[in-house]
Structure 1
Amino acid sequence: MATQVASHRCCPACGGNGGGSLVANIALRTPDGHPLGSGYQVASCSACGCGFANVPEQTPYYEQYYASLAKYANEALTERLSKKSGRPDSDLEPVWVSEKAASSARRIRDLVPRIDSRVLDIGCSTGSLLAALGRLGYRELHGVDPSAESVYQANARAGINAEVGTFSSIPVGIGTFDLICATGVFEHLWDVGAAVRSLLPLLRADGVIYVEVPDARRYLDPYVSPYEDFSTEHINHFSATCLRWLASRFGLKTISEISYEAPLTEEVLTGCVAVAWTRASSLKIPEQRDNDLEKQLIAFSEKSIHDLALVSEGLELALSASSGYILWGIGEAALKLLALPVLNSREAVLYVDGNPSRWGFRFGGAPVVTPSSISSGRTPIIAGSFIRADSIVEAASQLGLHNPIVRLDL
């Protein structure tokens, strides 16, 4: 029988606060000042089965975090500055990002075919989805994102009007919409219910809310890496059933749902679920808990534990002659690696990342620095990513580094 835990936050799907089953204990070493500290529990709601990070709400921290992180915006910004271009270049967007957005746009067209529909993408990032809808003929394209750099790049695309904002601070006078999109957003939010509630005044009577999230039933299909989806960013773990629970809380009904695979990078696929909601004439609460989701989350946790043990053994062997190491890549995988005894017992000579938004992070006072700070030598470089190790190896070669590189390949 699963261990029962008290809930420190409301369930992101049903809104309940009756505790749940323990799914996983996530050990982390987070940057100085991060609210998740040394880790957290993942629980499965006792009422509906939805998975969630079982820690007190941290909305103010995360709103600031996403305003400054802007992962995709910073990747394009770095490239733009290196080319000394004055304006964003849409060609800098990775092909897989454009293709993913195009697939979403085609699904949306089937639901809302009128190209004169007024569209809002909240959490629009650099405007990929809005641009894809524009290529299908939609003309009233509006976006909201917490990142000023993302908004800047979205507005550089033809036909898009984007503004800085969040669910709790939607721009005044933005109007109402036939279609509201939230793709890759709800898994990040501490108060999903408040987010949905904030959209209702913006939704026209016959309007559609379109949502995409990772499909938590499919964390093993396809499996990406240990605890890939149990992260400091993905703090809610939905299935289609859980999204029906969420919709029903706000008088919404599900008119479409589909599970599919989408690119996570140019070479890696991940499972996703897309749903569409409209206003319902009567409230209908789902009758069943998603017990299968809890089983899938536990199975994912068990495989992750097994694979992290293999990684730890590999690191112990690779670092057996070294008292220190350089960690290149301060993403989600790295935060879990740093909690392993094999790295805790050794000195991190440098923390390195190519994303400028991470250069302000510190670990025990030591800053994250640019890859150009590495001196060629014998100190091993750990490629701190399961899915981007090749790019780290290539970048090290371009810098002329001769350090041994330790990969996390399973």
Structure 2
Amino acid sequence: MNRYEKYVEIFDSNSISKEAAIADVGCAKGGFLAFLKQRGFSSLQGVEIDPKCAEYARTHYELDVATGTVDNLPFTDGSRDILIYNHVLEHLYDPLRALAEANRVLAEDGIVFVEVPNAGRYEDGRIFDFYWFCMREHINHFDLSHLTMLMEAAGFERIYECQSLMPYNSTANYPSLCVLFCKSKNVASGYGADTLGLSNSVRRYIDAEEDFLEIHRDQVSKLAASGRPVYVWGIGIEFFSLYSLAGLRDCNLRYLVDKNPAKQLKTVGGLSIISPECLSSAPLDSVVVIASVFNKDDMVNNLVSMSYPIGFITFC
């Protein structure tokens, strides 16, 4: 909700009308569109590639959401005033193709709202070892300069930017880059902008993450040498960083644990992912590795409340 509030503040400060024809491209389950609806925005549509998410938005929030893709939007030429690309461009193999489609459907004075992770501030928004590179679905990494160059190449002019640390939850923030661009026929080339800043920032981020990773490698090495049975709770990005980069795969892994039913009954390296209830019957000499930044406090509280004397290690 805090993030949505911030987005609406950006809309208000740039005089975006509540009657504007707004489309959220990649709207997921429609959360932001529903928020805009509550705030009095009246002409809202969404486009979502996942049919289950699109159906959820339609049935749960009563929103007009079509199943579609970024490069084939279900709108006529010049029919939208605002297009929202909230954490979309970093996922695209061909963002210029998607932005050509945006140019087609936008009115002559149309605006694109973009939010992406700010690669220039990955070090400031640290989550876990190489977190911002371990998200394999993130294939583009932007700072303000490079995002602007991309948008200018597609025929858009930057009119507003906000760089901040946006809250993930009560304990973690992510480096947010929110930018508004307007459709323009006379865009000045930005290729003379700061093109080395991103490279330098990413190199600093990599160096800092190597230092954190080395600490975790040492911890994991000692755990592996102990031979104790290991249960890992939290099978997400943090786990795969520990498993692939820090050597967790070399430990005496017994089970992988996660509350998410969609992950249960799947395997990693031949190991099953099972429900946390299994921890109550873990061997006395076993140890639980907690591998979740966002849920570690709840996990620790659950383990402490168990009557079974089980040890645990938090890497996050």
Rounded to whole Å, the distance in 1 between the matches of 2:124 and 2:206 is 14
Amino acid at match of 1:372: E
Map 1:143-162 → 2, pairs under 5 A: 143-156=46-59, 158=61, 160-162=63-65
1:140 and 2:43 aligned: yes
Aligned match of 2:282: 376
The answer to whether the 8 Å contact 2:90/2:116 transfers is yes
User: Does 1:107 find its partner at 2:13?
Assistant: no
Question: Contact (CA 8 Å) 1:315, 1:406: kept in 2 or not?
Answer: no
Segment drifting more, 220-229 vs 157-166 = 157-166
Aligned partner of 1:179 in structure 2 is 82
Aligned: 1:408 with 2:312: no
Match of 2:263 in 1: 358
Deviations 1:183-214, CA, capped at 9 Å, x for gaps: 12222222222222232222122111100111
Say if 1:215 and 1:272, in contact at 8 Å, map to a contact too.
yes
Deviation string 1:271-325 (CA, Å, 9 cap, x unpaired) is 2111111111224221134212111101110110100111122233345423541
What is the aligned counterpart of 1:236 among 133, 140, 143? Answer: 140
AA paired with 1:306? D
Distance 1:105 1:342, change over 3 A: same
2:165 counterpart of 1:269: no
Instruction: Compare 389-398 and 120-129 and name the one that shifted more.
Output: 389-398
Q: Is 1:390 equivalent to 2:297 in the alignment?
A: yes
1:383–1:408: 8 Å Cα contact kept in structure 2?
yes
The CA deviation string for residues 107-144 of structure 1, in whole angstroms up to 9 with x for no partner, is 12322421111111112122222122223210111112
Cα distance in 2, alignment partners of residues 368 and 212 from structure 1: 33
Q: Which amino acid aligns with 2:14?
A: L
Q: Which residue number in structure 2 is paired with residue 285 of structure 1?
A: 189
Change (3 A) 1:159 1:103: farther
How many positions carry a matched residue from both structures?
312
1:322 matched to 2:227? The reply is yes
Partner of 2:161: 257
When residues 173 and 203 of structure 1 are mapped into structure 2, their CA distance, relative to the original with a 3 A threshold, is closer
Aligned: 1:337 with 2:242: yes
CA distance, structure 1, for counterparts of residue 137 and residue 80 of structure 2: 28
**1:118-137 map, 5 Å:** 118-137=21-40
Q: TM-score, normalised by structure 1?
A: 0.69
> 2:122 aligned with 1:219, yes or no?
yes
Task: Report sequence identity in percent.
Answer: 22
Partners of 1:336 and 1:407 lie apart in 2 by 14
Report which stretch shifted further, 133-142 or 397-406: 397-406
User: CA offsets per residue over residues 217-261 of structure 1, 9 Å max, x none?
Assistant: 111224332212112132221111111111111111111112112
Task: Give the alignment's TM-score, normalised by structure 2.
Answer: 0.88
Residue pair 1:258, 1:273 contacting (<8 A) in 2 also: yes
Give RMSD over aligned pairs. 2.5
Distance 1:280 1:402, change over 3 A: same
Alpha-carbon spacing, 1:296–1:236, altered in 2? closer, same or farther (3 Å): same
Q: Which runs of 5+ in 1 are unaligned?
A: 1-97
CA distance in 2: counterparts of 1:166 and 1:281, whole angstroms: 25
Q: Distance in 1 between matches of 2:60 and 2:9?
A: 19
